[in-house]
């Protein structure tokens, strides 16, 4: 017998609170989705009800001079990148869009999904993880209560830092409804350099020897293709000015 999963699509934080409260009273688990690009990541969710928060989206506050951005949780990364690009800025961390890896179209990832999974790319080694750049959030806890933590000012935390706790929690601690993150100036240009090396140690040494470039290393990715046995292919992501390429 096949059972149809119920889907709830709230339009605001109050409706999310009502849905969570009803689920808590009925002891009914919820699967929280937005862009839906990470549903196959990790252990499958055993829930007959889907809470779709994709309608709760949009940029609420953006101050380029303060390098701080506040958006609703379901805002897509493409919309955020477009707004920041107009001011030659970018998110302080490197968000990872893993949708194509799990059969979804690229560009559908939302900020809430990125934060909930702490998903970041190879620039993490320099810029830090997602949790290092989230300074405020609003969420609905398991009792259906709306909670605000952190704020719009970077140095605003006294006591336990709840926004960092929400990063990587996969929605188990609450349903994110609003996020405040730090942004940073975007580089003039990006370049990716790929080369072959026998070991990661030799690859790192090769990068060190080439530090005479007017480029700043921003990320480091090493992978080993299955069809080759010994060599590894390492990709170095760097940034700098176009004239120095």
For 176-234, the pLDDT digits (tens) are 999 999 999 988 777 666 666 666 677 667 666 665 555 666 666 666 555 544 444 44
Give 45's pLDDT tier (boundaries 50, 70, 90): confident
> Which of 29-33, 147-151, 219-223 is modeled with the greatest confidence?
29-33
CATH number of the domain residue 88 falls in: 3.30.465.10
Verify that 225 and 202 share a domain, yes or no: yes
Verify that 225 and 148 share a domain, yes or no: no
- The more confidently predicted of residues 155 and 56 is 56
Range of the domain at 149: 1-186
User: How large is the C-alpha radius of gyration of the chain?
Assistant: 20
Verify that 86 and 129 share a domain, yes or no: yes
| Residue where a domain stops, chosen among 166, 186, 206 | 186
Give 242's pLDDT tier (boundaries 50, 70, 90): very low
Q: Is the pLDDT of residue 1 over 70?
A: no
Pairing type for strands 49-52 and 30-33 reads parallel
Distance between CA atoms of residues 31 and 171, nearest Å: 9
Instruction: Give the tokens for residue 101.
Output: 């890896």
Verify that 110 and 43 share a domain, yes or no: yes
Verify that 36 and 152 share a domain, yes or no: yes
Verify that 177 and 195 share a domain, yes or no: no
Verify that 98 and 72 share a domain, yes or no: yes
pLDDT digits (tens, 9 = 90+) for 99-146: 777 777 777 899 999 999 988 887 887 788 899 999 999 999 999 999
Verify that 179 and 233 share a domain, yes or no: no
Verify that 172 and 206 share a domain, yes or no: no
Verify that 15 and 119 share a domain, yes or no: yes
Domains of the chain: total:
2
Instruction: Give the tokens for residue 87.
Output: 């001011």
For the full predicted model, state whether its pTM sits above 0.85: no
Q: Is the pLDDT of residue 160 over 70?
A: yes
Verify that 9 and 85 share a domain, yes or no: yes
| Residue where a domain stops, chosen among 137, 169, 186 | 186
Helix, strand, coil shares, percent, the chain, to 5: 25, 30, 45
The DSSP result for 45-92, as a single string, is P--SEEEE-TTS--EEEEETTTTEEEEETT-BHHHHHHHHHHTTEEES
Verify that 168 and 240 share a domain, yes or no: no
Distance between CA atoms of residues 85 and 53, nearest Å: 25
């Amino acid at each position: 017998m096949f059972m149809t999963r119920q889907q709830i699509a709230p339009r605001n934080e109050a409706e999310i609170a009502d849905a969570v409260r009803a689920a808590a009273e009925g002891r009914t688990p919820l699967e929280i989705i937005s862009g839906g690009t990470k549903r196959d990541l990790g252990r499958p969710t055993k829930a007959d009800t889907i809470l779709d928060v994709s309608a709760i989206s949009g940029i609420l506050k953006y101050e380029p001079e303060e390098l701080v951005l506040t958006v609703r949780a379901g805002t897509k990364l493409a919309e955020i990148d477009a707004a920041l690009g107009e001011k030659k800025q970018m998110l302080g961390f490197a968000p990872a869009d893993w949708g194509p890896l799990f059969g979804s179209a690229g560009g559908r990832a939302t900020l809430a999904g990125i934060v909930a999974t702490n998903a970041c790319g190879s620039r993490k080694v320099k810029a830090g993880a997602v949790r290092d750049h989230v300074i405020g959030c609003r969420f609905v806890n398991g009792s259906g209560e709306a909670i605000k933590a952190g704020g719009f000012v970077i140095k605003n935390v006294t006591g336990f830092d709840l926004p960092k706790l929400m990063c990587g929690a996969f929605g188990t601690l609450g349903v994110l409804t609003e996020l405040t993150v730090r942004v940073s100036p975007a580089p003039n240009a990006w370049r990716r350099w790929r080369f072959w090396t026998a070991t990661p140690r030799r690859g790192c040494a090769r990068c060190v020897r080439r530090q005479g470039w007017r480029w700043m290393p921003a990320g480091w990715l090493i992978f080993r293709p299955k069809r080759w046995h010994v060599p590894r292919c390492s990709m170095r992501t760097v940034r700098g000015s176009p004239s120095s390429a």
